[in-house]
Structures are given as C-alpha cells and as structure tokens.
Amino acid sequence: MEKKLNLLILLCLSVVSNAQDFDFFYFVQQWPGSYCDTKQSCCYPTTGKPPSDFGIHGLWPNYKDGSYPSNCDPSNSYDQSKISDLISKMQENWATLACPSNSGSTFWSHEWDKHGTCSESVLDQHSYFGTALNLKSKLDLLQILQSAGINPDGSLYSLSTIRSTISNAIGYTPWIQCNVDEQGNSQLYQVYVCVDNSGSNLIECPVFPNGKCGSSIEFPSF
C-alpha cells in the first residue's frame, strides 16, 4: 500500500515538473536606439550610456506552440550575489534603458524571475546569465550588419536584406521585430534567434513570434 502511494506521489511530482519544461529558447537582442527614440523614451543606466551595440533583452524558454511559461519558481528569486563575477559584462551587454535610471538589477531580476526560473532544470542562475552573455559574444549582430553596409545611421534598409544578411552569417533564420519611432516610422527593434533547450546550440525556430515590420525599416543611430 505504502509503495503504491509513493509511486503515485512520484508520478504526480513528474507531472508537475514536466509542466515547467519547455521546448527551446528565444535569445533576444535589442537595438538601444530603437528603444530610446520612441514616445516612451528611455533612461541610461546609472553606470552611463551603454555602448552603441545590440544589447541582450533576454533568454526566454518557449513552447513549440508559441506559448511560454513564466514566473515558474517564486522560491528561487533573483540573487545578485550569485552572479557578482558577471556584473561588469552585464552592464556592458545587458544594459537597462528603463526609467527611472538604475544599475540594471531591476531588469535582470525581472528577466530571471519571469523567464529564467522556467529553465532552472537546465540552467541555474549563474549559468542562465552566463549562457546569454556567451550567446551574445558569439552573435555579433552589429558587425554582421555593418559588414554588409547596413549601418545605424538613421536610413532605411530592406527588411529582407537585413534578414538574409543575418541568416547567411549565422546559418539560421532570425526573426526581426520592429517598433515605431516618435514619428511612427517602422524600425529595427529586436532580433530573435532560437537556441535548443540545453542553451548551447542555435536551431531553426520551431515557431516565430507575431508582429509586423514595414518592407523597408529604419536603423536609427544610438
């Protein structure tokens, strides 16, 4: 009888932990110029103006059907003391632009609590942030675009050229997300690539997010 009960408990636990599982990650990089030139505007972090480069927005566990888990483990909330060796790299590559100005910990804790806790079966907090930083260092989007003559100079570029330039360079199809500047022009905001559920390898995206860009989009300066 007791054995049967144990088995039942085990089964229930595995259902609960499977519910937290996920199929792949979106790794999302953001062009800071396109965050800042909008109606909402932006605030530089207390550590100063971020580099004129794509910054990390997040590493997001996702399901193949397009939905995603969030806030999976309130008992494992953000603890900056676990990533003290990564902070200077985070300031450089994962800059907050939200107002009011802060060091970045508000953004990082949001990302860990909402998304990171949903992949804790694979990546603990240190490896979650470390994996994202590592992906960023391997995916130098600005260099890829600039070497094809696509520069953050406020001019318009063809969306399909941006997409094929990135896809030829990395071997996988990215998803380009646009937003609009204060005048309502469609612009290059975020670039999504997909990563397998170990966090180590790029994959073709099982599903793309929603959204729409113009056929030619602005690449604003920062």
Binding-site member from 59, 72, 86, 97 for ligand AMP (CB under 6 A): 97
Q: How far is the CB of 114 from ligand AMP (least distance, A)?
A: 5
Of 4-12, 91-99, 195-203, 205-213, the segment contacting ligand AMP by CB under 6 A is: 91-99
Contact between 129 and ligand AMP per CB under 6 A: no
Q: In the set 114, 134, 170, 214, which binds ligand AMP (CB under 6 A)?
A: 114
Q: To the nearest whole angstrom, how small is the minimum distance from the Cβ of residue 45 to ligand AMP?
A: 8
Q: Of the candidates 24, 26, 31, 107, which one interacts with ligand AMP according to CB under 6 A?
A: 107
Exactly one of 2, 57, 92, 182 is catalytic; name it.
57
Q: Is 58 in the site for ligand AMP (CB under 6 A)?
A: yes
Among the residue ranges 111-119, 139-147, 150-158, 162-170, the one whose residues contact ligand AMP (CB under 6 A): 111-119
* Cα–Cα distance for residue pair 42/187, rounded to 1 Å: 16
Radius of gyration of the chain, Cα coordinates, nearest whole angstrom: 19
- Is residue 115 flagged as an active site residue? yes
Q: Which stretch binds ligand AMP (CB under 6 A): 2-10, 110-118, 119-127, 171-179?
A: 110-118
Residues that bind ligand AMP (CB under 6 A): 30, 35, 57-58, 96-98, 107, 111, 114-115
